Chains A and B, each alone.
Chain A
Amino acid sequence: GAVVSQHPSRVICKSGTSVKIECRSLDFQATTMFWYRQFPKKSLMLMATSNEGSKATYEQGVEKDKFLINHASLTLSTLTVTSAHPEDSSFYICSARPGADTQYFGPGTRLTVL
């Protein structure tokens, strides 16, 4: 089956620093990738849609200058949390869409900001 990886799986950083999370589709190409946040025992929240070769589309309430998304190739999208603060601590999950009717999720990245 289709595999999506995320790196790192866990990251702890100091407040004020920036953190980059990578999302890769390992065995398929994805023109579209999605970034989500999930709080403990809570539902998902779609942050943005990442389109290869163009600017990401952010959901309402998501600061695009804080959560920088780059989708430079058909197999890689990155999310950079800039000037991270403790309230940014969360589980960040990406998914990749090889076609219109499906998407595959990565294992997630747990970010802890001290």
Chain B
Amino acid sequence: GQQVMQIPQYQHVQEGEDFTTYCNSSTTLSNIQWYKQRPGGHPVFLIQLVKSGEVKKQKRLTFQFGEAKKNSSLHITATQTTDVGTYFCAGRGNNNDMRFGAGTRLTVKP
């Protein structure tokens, strides 16, 4: 069945360093979504990518959807302590099944 793998599982950075999380699917995705969840908080929808090769930016966050629509990345430039949380990707595959990645837990040292 469709699998969505997300790496790394954990990432600890110094404030000001960059951070990237990767999402890889075993099958082609019709779209991919990214979410953030702060410790103890509820998820927050960040963005949806639909087109092959699509790149979208939100301030210090850059989202990419691969040409083959099987992988995606979220890159944060110059992390801040407010970026702390778990970042999830989710994609809908050809069998119309929505799968979430396990998440990347980001911690930022001030």
Interface residues of A (CB under 8 A from B): 36, 42-46, 59-60, 93, 95, 101-108
Residues facing A in B63-107 (CB within 8 A) are 88, 90, 95, 97-98, 100-103
Question: Which A residues are in CB contact (< 8 Å) with B43?
Answer: 36, 44, 93, 95, 105
Residue contact B98 to A46, C-beta cutoff 8 Å: yes
By beta carbon, the residue of chain B nearest A38 is B43
Known: A44-B88, A46-B98. 5 other contacts (CB 8 A): A43-B88, A43-B101, A93-B43, A102-B45, A105-B43
Residue contact B100 to A105, C-beta cutoff 8 Å: no
Distance to closest chain A CB from B81 (angstroms): 21
Residue contact A44 to B100, C-beta cutoff 8 Å: yes
Q: Which 7 A-B pairs have the closest CB atoms?
A: A43-B100, A46-B98, A105-B42, A103-B45, A105-B43, A44-B100, A43-B102
Number of A-B contacts (CB under 8 A): 36
How many B residues face the partner with a CB closer than 8 A?
A: 16
By beta carbon, the residue of chain B nearest A100 is B48
Interface residues of B (CB under 8 A from A): 35, 42-45, 47-48, 88, 90, 95, 97-98, 100-103
Question: Which B residues are in CB contact (< 8 Å) with A95?
Answer: 43, 45
By beta carbon, the residue of chain A nearest B98 is A46
Distance to closest chain B CB from A112 (angstroms): 18
Question: Which A residues are in CB contact (< 8 Å) with B95?
Answer: 60
